[in-house]
């Protein structure tokens, strides 16, 4: 495999130099560039027999001797330079040198980053060794037992040394652990035949509801939540859901609707004529208001 599998080809520069080439010579020139690029020295040996065999293999074995003699030497003399028994192409060699420098620079940058990281880790190790770790876990990870020498802890053990700060004057063993039952708390659907408990009824009564209103609210509450599908009908505490429902009812009590203009006119008419618009007095010539909409 070649050192650099990809050949950088700048189309503008290539076409500017090869506009006068026929189609067959374009293909031959590209094969020459590829053969040189794949070699470690980025050059083609001055061996016409080897070059003909290589180009024939690249063409599928269909390269005739006359075609080779009429095409390849001419391209070599025009675009390549013969030095030390090898044909080199100036732009191709320049691109190879550029890629080698870039690759070496990237390799050095990676080495610098890794060396800096290793230095930081060993600084941390040294600091932990000077302070003695400060806890039993560090002694266990670093292999410390009794009066034996303390071995150098690994970066993995250093990560284990780090702990969350604890409250002063309180042992770590006294810290409450989260209950597994709390983590596994799950909701459930409203049971069939649900009825409010005595505490639920008393809460509704304290909100100003009578027994009939409480019974109607319970029926509506049960039908609504049992009809909801999936997770929408799942709650963790149904008594809390009932209290929220009661609060919602108490907060959004229906306000009296605003009277329309026609109702106001009719009430004004009734107040003016005690017998109303259909009474005997109204029929005996009392003025009748016309309601304009």
Give me the pLDDT at residue 183, please. 52
Which whole number is the average pLDDT over 73-85?
93
Buried b / exposed e across 175-198, counting CB within 10 Å, b at 16+?
A: eeeeeeeeeeeeeeebeeeeebee
Which whole number is the average pLDDT over 14-41?
91
Give me the pLDDT at residue 253, please. 57
Which whole number is the average pLDDT over 111-121?
81
Which whole number is the average pLDDT over 109-130?
78
Domain boundaries, the chain: 11-88, 190-251
Which whole number is the average pLDDT over 75-86?
93
Q: What CA dihedral angle connects 37, 43, 45 and 50, to 10 degrees?
A: 10
pLDDT in tens, 242-292: 999 999 887 765 455 667 778 778 777 777 765 545 555 554 555 555 555
Distances (CA, A) of 207 to 86, 218, 239, 244: 103, 14, 15, 12
Which whole number is the average pLDDT over 108-136?
73
Q: Return the higher-pLDDT residue of 131 and 210.
A: 210
Give me the pLDDT at residue 202, please. 92
pLDDT, mean over the chain: 77
Q: What is the pTM of this model?
A: 0.38
The rounded distance, in Å, linking the Cα atoms of 84 and 1 is 25
Q: Which of 84, 80, 52, 83 is nearest to 68 (CA)?
A: 52
Which whole number is the average pLDDT over 4-13?
87
Structure confidence at residue 140 as a pLDDT band (50, 70, 90): very low
Tell me how far the alpha carbon of residue 137 is from its chain's centroid: 36
Give me the pLDDT at residue 264, please. 79
Joined together, the tokens standing for residue 192 give 């069939």
- The answer to whether residue 141 scores a pLDDT higher than 70 is no
- Segment among 22-26, 29-33, 239-243, 253-257 with least mean pLDDT: 253-257
pLDDT in tens, 176-235: 555 555 556 788 899 988 999 999 999 999 988 899 999 999 999 999 998 989 888 899
The structure tokens 């060794």 sit at 129
């Amino acid at each position: 495999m070649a050192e650099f599998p990809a050949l950088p080809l700048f189309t503008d520069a290539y076409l500017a130099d090869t506009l006068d080439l026929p189609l067959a010579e374009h293909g031959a020139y590209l094969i020459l560039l590829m053969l040189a690029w794949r070699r470690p020295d980025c050059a083609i040996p001055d061996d016409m027999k080897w070059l003909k065999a290589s180009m024939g293999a690249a063409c599928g074995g269909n390269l005739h001797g006359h075609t080779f003699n009429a095409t390849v030497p001419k391209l070599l003399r025009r675009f390549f330079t013969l030095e030390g028994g090898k044909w080199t192409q100036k732009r191709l060699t320049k691109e190879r040198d550029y890629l080698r420098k870039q690759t070496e620079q990237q390799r050095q940058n990676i080495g610098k980053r890794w060396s800096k990281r290793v230095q930081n880790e060993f600084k941390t190790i040294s600091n932990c060794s000077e302070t003695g770790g400060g806890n039993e876990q560090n002694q266990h990870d670093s292999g410390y037992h009794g009066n034996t020498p303390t071995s150098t802890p690994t970066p993995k053990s250093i990560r284990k040394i780090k702990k969350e700060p604890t409250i002063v004057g309180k042992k770590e063993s006294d810290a409450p652990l989260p209950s597994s039952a709390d983590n596994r708390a799950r909701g459930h659907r409203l049971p069939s035949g649900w009825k409010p408990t005595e505490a639920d009824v008393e809460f509704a009564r304290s909100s100003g509801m009578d027994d009939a209103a409480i019974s109607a609210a319970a029926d509506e509450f049960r039908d609504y939540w049992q009809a909801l599908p999936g997770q929408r009908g799942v709650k963790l505490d149904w008594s809390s859901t009932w209290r929220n429902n009661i609060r919602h009812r108490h907060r959004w009590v229906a306000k009296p609707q605003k009277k329309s203009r026609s109702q106001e006119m009719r009430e004004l008419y009734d107040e003016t004529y005690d017998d109303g618009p259909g009474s005997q007095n109204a029929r005996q010539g009392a003025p009748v208001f016309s309601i304009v909409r």
